[in-house]
Amino acid sequence: MSDISTSCPRCRRALEIPYDFDNVICPGCAAAYWIRRHGDLVSLSEMWPDADDSRRAENATALVESRLAEIDELMEEAEAEIESLRSREQSGPLQRGCAFFGLFMTVILVIAVFMLVGRGYVGSWLFYVSVAGVIIVGIVRIRRKLVSADQVDEFRRNRTEIENDLTRLQSERDRLQGLNARLNPDQAD
What confidence tens digit (pLDDT) does each residue in 79-118 have?
A: 999 998 888 877 777 777 777 787 788 877 777 777 766 6
Query: Do 100 and 139 sit in the same domain of this protein?
Result: yes
Q: Could you give the C-alpha distances from 26 to 5, 16, 55, in angstroms and in order?
A: 12, 10, 14
Q: What pLDDT sits at residue 140?
A: 82
Query: Do 45 and 71 sit in the same domain of this protein?
Result: yes
Q: Does residue 78 register a pLDDT over 80?
A: yes
Q: How far apart are CA 121 and CA 125, in angstroms?
A: 8
Report the predicted TM-score, pTM, of the whole model to 2 decimal places. 0.55
Query: Do 13 and 75 sit in the same domain of this protein?
Result: yes
Centroid of chain to Cα 119: 57
In a domain, 66, yes or no: yes
The overall average pLDDT reported for the chain is 78
In a domain, 15, yes or no: yes
Domain count, the chain: 2
**Strand pairing category for 32-38 and 23-25:** antiparallel
In a domain, 61, yes or no: yes
CB under 8 A, 24+ apart: contacts of 54-62: 56/29, 56/30, 56/31, 56/32, 57/30, 57/183, 57/184, 59/32, 60/25, 60/30, 60/31, 60/32, 60/183, 61/180, 61/183, 61/184
Domain that includes residue 40, residue range: 4-85+157-183
In a domain, 151, yes or no: no
Query: Do 40 and 123 sit in the same domain of this protein?
Result: no
Query: Do 137 and 103 sit in the same domain of this protein?
Result: yes
Q: Does residue 126 register a pLDDT over 50?
A: yes
Query: Do 161 and 141 sit in the same domain of this protein?
Result: no
Q: Does residue 189 register a pLDDT over 50?
A: no
pLDDT tens-digit readout, 52-69: 666 666 777 777 888 888
Query: Do 81 and 138 sit in the same domain of this protein?
Result: no
Query: Do 100 and 124 sit in the same domain of this protein?
Result: yes
* Side chain identity, residue 157: R
Query: Do 124 and 76 sit in the same domain of this protein?
Result: no
Query: Do 31 and 122 sit in the same domain of this protein?
Result: no
